[in-house]
Each structure stands twice: as C-alpha cells, then as structure tokens.
A and B are shown apart, each in its own frame.
Chain A
Amino acid sequence: QVQLVESGGGLVNPGGSLRLSCVGSGFTFGGHYMSWIRQTPGKRPEWVSYMSSSSDYIVYGDSVRGRFTVSRDNARNSLYLQMNGLRVEDSAVYYCARGSSFSGLDTWGQGILVTVSS
C-alpha cells in the first residue's frame, strides 16, 4: 500500500542540526510533489517546505527559510529535510506528505518528533 515513513528525529540543542528522512513505498515516488509539514500539540499544522517531483521548484515557509533545506533522491524514493540553526520553537512533530496544490496532500507519514531543548 501507499506509505511514507519518516526517520531522523530526536533531541537536539538550540543552534544544532538534524536531518530528517522520508521514504515512500507503494507508488512512483519520482512522479509526485512532496511537502514537509510540522505540528505542535493542539495547534494547526504548519507548512514547512514544498518540492516538485524533479526538484526544480522548491519553496519554504517564512519561519524556516534560510535555515532548512529540502532535497530528494528519487532513485532512493526518499525526501530529506536538513535543519540547521534549530530553535526551541522548531520543536514539533514533522510529517512528510505527498501531493500538490491541486491534488491536496493525499498521503502523510506517521510523523517524527523533533525536540529542541538544552
């Protein structure tokens, strides 16, 4: 079945770095736009980044632009999020999701927890 699985989360000090990975299965990964979204308990989801299937279109949310970098390796069915200069307010559950602005985000991973704290 169609599935996304995130990994790489954990506890990191403020100012530190972390790299999240998302592996897709059950579908042609290279044919889909992908996003990262994060969410803190009781709050609405916050979109982080959006990437085209061929990596030629990438956009970031205002709160992470310049600190986070999204990339993908279609041969490995993988999406990545390199997070540098982490702040306490970056603490959240991070989801990867498949889909475009037209199709909606139709498949989500189970989420991975990132905690930024000293």
Chain B
Amino acid sequence: EDVLTQSPGTLSLSPGERATLSCRASQSVERRKFSWYQQKPGQAPRLLIYGASNRADGIPDRFSGGVSGTDFTLTISRLEPEDFAVYYCQQWDGSRFTFGRGTTVDI
C-alpha cells in the first residue's frame, strides 16, 4: 500500500486554467514535514511547497498548498506553459522520506 496516493494520475488542461492536485496520506502526517515538487523531463525535481503550505524561494504565487486532515492539495491558479510537468508529493514520517507516484499535468 502506498503511503502517499496522488490523484489524478494525469490532468489534461489548457494554459490559463486552474489545476488542483491531490495527495492523500494513508496515515497521520505532520504537515510541517510535507512537500511538493515539480519535475520536467531531464531535470531534477524542484521544491515548490514545504511545510504543506509554504512556497519555496522563487516560486510564483500562483502555486499554493493546502491540507485538510490527511488530504493535501497543490493548486496552480492559472497554468502557464512552463507549468506542464510532473508533480510529486513527499513526506517525512520520522524515519524515511516517501514520494507519491506523481501527477502529470499536460496539455
């Protein structure tokens, strides 16, 4: 069983639209230790959100993170062409980091 379940697997949208990505934890997660990453082909992952809702340095304010219980969300308010990528959620459970399977945001 996955510790973090991301949905949907693929999100097909157009520039200017709003994207809502979900990550559900199978057990209680400290929101302080939850992050979101963006990855483009051939590149390393890039930190977007840490502590569930804090934007990392240099991340545009169209990216926002939220949480309700064990359900975490990443929202991109208006998609820009450079936002089409794979997004991963990640958490630290006290002894290991785990990543979700990812959500692909494509056109």
Q: State the A residues within 8 Å of B (CB).
A: 35, 37, 44-47, 50, 59, 61-62, 95, 97, 99, 101-106, 108-111
Contacts and interface: CB of A to CB of B under 8 A. Distances in A.
A99 B50 CA distance: 11
Interface SS of A by simple majority: strand
Contacts of B50: 102-104, 106
A34 B56 CA distance: 17
A50 B97 contact: yes
B97 A44 contact: no
B51 interface: yes
A110 B39 CA distance: 12
Most B-side CB within 10 Å, residue of A37, A99, A102: A102
Interface in B7-61: 32-33, 35, 37, 44-47, 49-51, 56-57
B72 interface: no
Of the four ranges (under 10, 10 to 19, 20 to 34, 35 or more), the interface on chain B belongs to 20 to 34
B21 to A, nearest CB: 14
B99 A45 contact: yes
A114 B49 CA distance: 29
Contact of A45 (B33, B88, B95): B88
Nearest to A61: B96
B92 A95 contact: no
B98 interface: yes
A35 B97 contact: yes
